[in-house]
Amino acid sequence: GAGVSQSPRYKVAKRGQDVALRCDPISGHVSLFWYQQALGQGPEFLTYFQNEAQLDKSGLPSDRFFAERPEGSVSTLKIQRTQQEDSAVYLCASSLRFTEQYFGPGTRLTVT
């Protein structure tokens, strides 16, 4: 079946612009996670949804980061007033139960 998909795959934004990153999880997966992966580093947890409820957003680095999953399926990660330090790959993962997470291909964000 279809895996986790993310769009766009690449995004270049000028500093100060807002961006929106989309994640389509595997159908039926109730849990959805967002991670930020800097070059050469492991994925850093940002936020977690169970269905439409955002149960943990402790990893969001600032109030410029906002995530939503209004209908419990597709999720959007929004970054307002982007800064250069926001440049990274943003990974989305979904799971049927909490355990085995399946990752999307990621969105590579470059802020210039």
Residues that bind another protein (CB under 8 A): 33, 35, 40-45, 48, 55-56, 58-59, 91, 98-106
Closer residue to another protein (CB): 66 or 103: 103
How many residues can be counted in the chain? Answer: 112
Stated as kind and residue range, the H or E segment containing 46 is: strand 44-50
Phi, psi of 63 (to 5 degrees): -75, 0
In angstroms, give the least distance from the CB of 15 to another protein.
Answer: 25
Closer residue to another protein (CB): 5 or 80: 5
DSSP structure class, residue 9:
S
Closer residue to another protein (CB): 16 or 61: 61
